[in-house]
């Protein structure tokens, strides 16, 4: 029960941003002594921090409190002792393993998504080369100890056992023990999370009022993650919305997965540029030239076919999942608005619920860092099925091993 209350308090504070102990007790239906004890433990451990919130505003509510910037109250005459997730100290190291680039970012428990990447390097073509550069990059980071390393990785990921089972665009990771590789540099717990699932966690942390959605990210590949009732949907198989590997009739391009005709060979960054180069051989094969061509001339026939194929796949997914919100991140959220308009209109047309109900298709920035921290707090600080050393006051910070 104690661990359950810690999880509830931590999750609620992450959603509201800042709150007093009294507000937390009222919102969660817990006694103030219980909330106070949990809050003090998490303060001592560095998960929470206190922040004074004071705002001079005319008028008082029935409670005799002045309203504050976030709608909570601070008592007259002194600022309330408000709690929030610690934003002052980096406790985690975020590792984003991308097809082309690996990024390392210092993350606090209260990460906002605005953190700057500390180190960035090219993702090498084999485990040995990648590890060598990872070691060198670690030396450039002043901070050497962390509660854990939070790693976002592509492909089919067995998160429970920390293994990448299949990665169409980074095949060397399939044979590499990624957790062990990372722990050769930092002797800390490693949380391995599939990249689209990290994005979905971040999206939900920022906009918790929408707890049911399909997030689809267009980048080097095309993948998705499903949020149901505020929880990541876990499949019987370690597959996370592999929408990009749906075959498209008439598409003869070979995919990194070995199949022919996968959607992502058309809608990934590489696929879009390949189609643009074929249709406009005299134009530079660059993202800027592609975007400018759309802004100047609208959607060309090849792009229309590509967007319609993507819309059909996403509409089919919504018909199966029974959710009515799609969150689009990445490439399709960055191109001129006419691209998203065509994609979203055709998604809505293809969903049965759209015949008599509302289907929402929205764009959002990638909130990967926030999602990584959400996963780290859940799995390392207050896990459901194991004792949390950090919550018990026993977990230490782990250092680099080089």
Please give the full DSSP string across 62-127, using - where no structure is assigned.
TTSEEE-TTS-EEETTS-EEEEEE--SS--EEEEEE-SSEEEEEEE-TT--S-PPPSEEEEPPSSH
Mean pLDDT rounded to a whole number for the chain: 88
- CATH of 208-363, picked from 3.30.360.10, 3.40.50.2000, 3.40.50.1460, 3.30.420.40, is 3.30.420.40
Lowest-confidence pick of 73-87, 252-266, 280-294, 346-360? 73-87
Tell me the C-alpha distance between 118 and 128, whole Å: 22
CA angle 291, 292, 298 (to 5 degrees): 85
Strand ranges in 301-386 using DSSP code E only, listed in sequence order:
325-330, 360-363
Q: Of 45, 48, 75, 70, which Cα lies nearest the Cα of 60? A: 75
Would you place residue 387 in the very low, low, confident or very high pLDDT band (cuts 50, 70, 90)?
very low
pLDDT at 239: 80
Confidence check: pLDDT of 282 > 70: yes
Q: Which residue has the higher pLDDT, 63 or 363?
A: 363
pLDDT at residue 202 greater than cutoff 90? yes
> What's residue 164's pLDDT?
93
Q: What is the pLDDT of residue 385?
A: 61
The per-residue pLDDT for 2 is 76
Res 140 pLDDT > 70: yes
More confident residue, 136 or 56: 136
CATH number 1.10.10.10 given to 2-85: yes
Give, in words, the CATH class of 92-198+368-399.
alpha beta
* Distance from C-alpha of 93 to C-alpha of 144, rounded to nearest angstrom: 10
Judged by DSSP in three states, 281 sits in coil
Which pLDDT belongs to residue 382?
Answer: 79
208-363 and 92-198+368-399 share a CATH fold: yes
**397 vs 389: which has the higher pLDDT:** 397
pLDDT over threshold 70, residue 396: no
Instruction: Give the pLDDT of residue 60.
Output: 43
Q: pLDDT of 247-258, one tens digit each?
A: 999 999 999 899
pLDDT confidence bin for 81, thresholds 50/70/90: confident
Query: What percent of the chain has pLDDT above 90?
Result: 71
Residue 388 has pLDDT above 60, yes or no: no
Residue 68 pLDDT more than 70? no
Q: Is the pLDDT of residue 349 over 90?
A: yes
**Confidence bin at 401 (pLDDT 50/70/90):** low
pLDDT at 188: 93
Task: Find all residues with CB under 8 Å of 209, minimum gap 6, and list them.
Answer: none
Q: Where are the domains of the chain?
A: 2-85, 92-198+368-399, 208-363
**Average of pLDDT values for 152-180?**
92
CB atoms within 10 A of CB 271: 24
pLDDT band at 59 (very low <50, low <70, confident <90, very high): very low
């Amino acid at each position: 029960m104690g661990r359950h209350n810690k999880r509830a308090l931590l999750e609620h504070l992450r959603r509201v941003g800042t709150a007093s102990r009294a507000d937390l007790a009222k919102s969660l239906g817990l006694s103030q002594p219980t909330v106070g004890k949990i809050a003090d433990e998490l303060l001592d451990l560095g998960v929470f921090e206190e922040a004074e919130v004071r705002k001079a505003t005319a008028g008082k509510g029935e409670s005799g409190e002045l309203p504050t910037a976030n709608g909570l109250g601070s008592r007259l005459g002194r600022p309330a002792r408000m709690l929030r997730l610690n934003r002052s100290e980096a406790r985690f190291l975020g590792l984003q393993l991308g097809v082309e680039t690996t990024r390392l970012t210092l993350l606090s428990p209260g990460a906002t998504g605005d953190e700057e990447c500390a180190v960035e390097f090219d993702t090498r073509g084999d485990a040995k080369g990648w590890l060598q550069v990872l070691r060198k990059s670690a030396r450039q980071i002043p901070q050497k100890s962390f509660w854990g390393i939070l790693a976002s990785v592509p492909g089919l990921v067995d998160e429970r056992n920390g293994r990448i089972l299949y990665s169409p665009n980074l095949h060397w990771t399939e044979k590499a023990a990624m957790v062990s590789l990372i722990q050769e540099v930092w002797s800390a717990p490693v949380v391995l999370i599939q990249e689209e699932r990290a994005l979905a966690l971040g999206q939900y942390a920022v906009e918790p009022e929408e707890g049911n959605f399909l997030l689809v990210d267009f980048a080097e590949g095309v993948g998705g993650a499903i949020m149901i009732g505020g929880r990541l949907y876990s499949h019987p198989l370690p597959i996370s919305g592999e929408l990009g590997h749906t075959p498209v009739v008439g598409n003869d391009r070979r995919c990194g997965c070995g199949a022919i005709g996968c959607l992502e060979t058309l809608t990934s960054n590489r696929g879009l540029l390949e189609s643009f180069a074929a249709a406009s051989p005299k134009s530079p094969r660059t993202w800027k030239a592609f975007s400018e061509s759309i802004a100047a001339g609208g959607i060309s026939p090849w792009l229309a076919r590509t967007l319609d194929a993507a819309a059909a796949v996403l509409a089919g997914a919504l018909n199966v999942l029974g959710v009515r919100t799609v969150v689009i991140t990445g490439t399709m959220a960055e191109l001129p608005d006419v691209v998203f308009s065509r994609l979203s209109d055709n998604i809505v047309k293809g969903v049965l619920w759209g015949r008599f109900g509302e289907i929402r298709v929205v764009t959002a920035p990638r909130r990967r860092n926030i999602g990584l921290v959400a996963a780290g707090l859940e799995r390392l600080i207050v896990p459901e099925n194991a004792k949390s050393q950090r919550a018990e006051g026993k977990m230490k910070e782990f250092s680099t091993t080089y």
